[in-house]
Structure formats: structure tokens, C-alpha cells
Structure 1
């Protein structure tokens, strides 16, 4: 097995940025999901409810710096390293504080989605622990949904696309185009032969970096949004519900926690331990 693709998502729920290498910190890849949008109540706002966020690309600068690109406005540079206020925010069940640096960025995003939001930066990622049920007390995570790194495999996606095509045939429909891995927003994509082999992993080494497998990743409606057209459909949730449903959820990919810092590279060997 080997790594075929690496990505970061500088702002939660915006486009991913491919990379040839990723520096991994205890809370996730450098520049991955250190920014997010929140509503007036401080709760996270995502492309689940506002698909146009997927049209935004974010270009990291130095720590706390990002350039925004979108279809609705001129690019905007944001710098959170100055004297910005800390505000309370909430990412699902996690409550913490984050830096609120730029009313101009708030307006930029609010105009895009026609909803009042604020852009915040996690200046100190040690503030947010992972779910202790699946990690250690000292484990930390950025603004990712729950864990520092998400890994998906090509064999699992091939199997899923085969299932989707078979379901379409059963319904007398034309076979759909195969789903792109971008639907699932992984940091690491691994080329392998056995579908869903990752379900059985407890530890994995990628290059020289070792990870604990925290848990499989339960999937939401965000996976049903085409990242190019922004149109919602029924797949892959319809098919995952048929083949990959347990505990009242559907599952694809696995969440990882690094045992230490290191660097991942496209082409790195991947070994289940």
C-alpha cells in the first residue's frame, strides 16, 4: 500500500488543497482546518447547510494568515496575528475560544452564503481535546469534525462505486459517473487492493509516522454534494445505508491520531501494524 494523494482543508467546509507532502502535528496536518465559520451564536457553520462554501479556496500564508478566493468577490487577505479578540465557539460538542480577526472576512463570507457568519482562527490548537472515548486525555484536534487526520482507501471507493452502479442497474437507471474521492474530504488517500481493509486496522504507519486508528468515520449529507456543481443528490448515503450501516450511522474512511509529529509524502509506504 502507498499514499497516492494528500490534502489539507485550510478553512473547514471549503475546498481542499492537494499537497505533495504534509507536516503533521499532534492536532493534525499543518494549516488543516485551523479556520472555520461560525454563526452569531458561535456554533460552527458548514457546507452541509451552505453548499456555496465549497466554491471557496483558501490559500494559507504564515500562521494565522490566509487568502480567500471565491466566485462572488475579489480575493481577500486575512491576518489573525494582530490584536484580535477571542470569542467562544462551538464545534459540535466541543466548546472553546478562537480568534475573531476580520469583519471584512465576515462580510466576504456572509455575502457568499446570504447568512451572517464570522470567520475564526484556532490560534492555540491545544485547546480542543478529541473525544476521550476514542483517544487519550492528551490528544488534541483542530477544527476537524473529531480527529486529527482522515484516511480513505482507493479499494473502498472502487467497491462503493460498484455498489452504486449495481443499485442503479436494479432500478433500471443509467449508470452514474463514479464518485470522486473529494466527496469524502480525506487528508490521506491510500492505494490498496482490499475494500474496507482499514476497518480492521488498529495502528498504521505512513512513511515514518505512526498513527492510532481512533474509529471509522460516520458520514453526513456533505458527501452528497457534488464538489464541482454544488448539486445535492442521494449518493453515496443511499448506498452506504444499504451496505455500511451500523449503530444508526453510515461509514466510510477512518480517523487517525498521530503518535508524534512527522512528515507524510505522496508515495510513502503504508503498513497496518
Structure 2
């Protein structure tokens, strides 16, 4: 039997992931997932571990009111309230898609600029300011600050196979999935088109192309000198210049997921 073995939420794009036993799904994927993002204070460009690997050591926990709790070694904890969705808007973009989203204020910006060593601002995406999913023709298909799609799924067997090929155990969190499924064969998820978990249906949109971020150790923030696992993935998971690992999903309804739920492959 296939089962949901892990759930992860990433409240801030590129910050530490948050393991969950239960999670609510809304119109943008997991509630609270990638609804916050750091942007360059000067030009609005979004900031991630690709350029600032220390973000892997930044804890940004979502709370029930939608706000954020920031913490990092050597810094006091900061509670950031949910900003007004329609004031203090700041222009930014995610992979070319323009967005106008509320700024979280000066206190959060000063805290995060001190942590990052670069002038930045913290922004939030309310539901009505989400962007269209790339290539979608359906107006209701929206995504927040995730790279392209609301959810990412990886099979545990796929990671186990990759770890064997690399020659050392790899952490699932370096691939930043929302859903981990166990009980399938390695890379079985590549062939799925529709699945159901706990009564909620998901469309499997496309494979997830991977980047240099996967070479950052999530525990230390250090880049692997051998560029693993990207080096190994390129030997057998590369297509048309892109390296794929995991599958992007779109949830077709709201609901609740819980670790241990059965996963059904519908198509």
C-alpha cells in the first residue's frame, strides 16, 4: 500500500522547512506554505539559498493567525504580524511573473537584513494576490511564492535510490517536498497523472527541475564541494538540459492531509 509518510511546510521561500503531522489544503496548496518571501530592498528581486545559503539556517514558522515567527542563532525571536493585504504594496516577480504584494514592515526588514547581511524586505502573498500557475488556462489555478506549482511530491524510494548512487544518505529536506510517499518503486511518481490522498484529488502537473540549491546541506548551510546530488542526477535524470527529481502537483479541492493516509494512483 502507498502511504503519505511525511508532510512539510515552508512558510518562507528558501527558509527552514517545518515537518507536520497534519496540514490543511487551500486554493494555493498547503495552508501557510511559501506565503512569505525575501526580496532585494532596491529592485524587488526575490532572494533564495541559490545566492544566500545562510537562509537554510533561518527559521520562519507560520502561526494560526497567518503571521510569522522568525528565529536564528544569535538573534532574538521576532513575531511578524500578517500585513494588511491591500496597503504598502511592493512590486516583485517570481521567475518573470510580476506581483504586487504587501510589505511586512521595517522591523522585520531590519531583523532580516541583519541576518542576511544585505538590505532586504519581507513580503507576504494574500490569496487574491497570488499569481497564475505557469501555462494554466484555468483562472482558478493559482500559486503563491513557490517556483511554479502549489505542491511538490517525492517518493521515498526515489531518494533511497539516489542516495545509493551518490554513496551516502541524503536528506529529503534538501529537495524541499511538501509530500513524501512510501511504498512505491523508485521514480514511480514519474508515471502518475492523478492521485488521491484522504479523499482529495491531485493532478500531477510536471516533473520538478532541480538546481544548485540541492547541493546545500540543510543542516549546516554549506555547499557540497562535489556538487552532489546534482552531479549524479545529471547522469540519469537529465532531459533537454534540465535535471528532474520529484513531481509538481495541483490539489483539486480543499481539505486536510495527515501522515499515514493511503495514497491511491487514479491514473
TM-score range, shorter chain: over 0.9
C-alpha RMSD over aligned residues: 1.4
One of 241, 245, 265 as aligned partner of 2:238:
245
Query: What displacement does 1:26 show?
Result: 1.8
One of 159, 175, 186 as aligned partner of 1:157:
159
Are the aligned partners of 2:28 and 2:127 in contact in 1 as well (CA < 8 Å)? no
Give the match for residue 88 of structure 2.
Answer: 85
Other structure's SS at 2:143 match: coil
Give the match for residue 33 of structure 1.
Answer: 34
Give the match for residue 20 of structure 1.
Answer: 21
One of 245, 249, 258 as aligned partner of 1:256:
249
- Structure 2 CA distance, aligned partners of 1:263 and 1:153? 20
- Structure 2 CA distance, aligned partners of 1:106 and 1:263? 33
Give the match for residue 144 of structure 1.
Answer: 146
The 1:18–1:125 alpha-carbon spacing in structure 2 relative to 1, beyond 3 Å, is farther
Query: What displacement does 1:61 show?
Result: 2.2
One of 259, 262, 266 as aligned partner of 1:266:
259
Paired residues in the alignment total: 261
Are the aligned partners of 1:25 and 1:261 in contact in 2 as well (CA < 8 Å)? yes
**Is 1:192 matched with 2:183?**
yes
Q: Point out where structure 2 has 5 or more consecutive residues left out of the alignment.
A: none
Q: Deviations over 1:183-229 (max 9, x none)?
A: 10000111023110111111111121100001000001111000111
Other structure's SS at 1:95 match: strand
Give the match for residue 124 of structure 2.
Answer: 121
One of 98, 101, 104 as aligned partner of 1:101:
104
TM-score between the two structures when normalised by the length of structure 1:
0.92
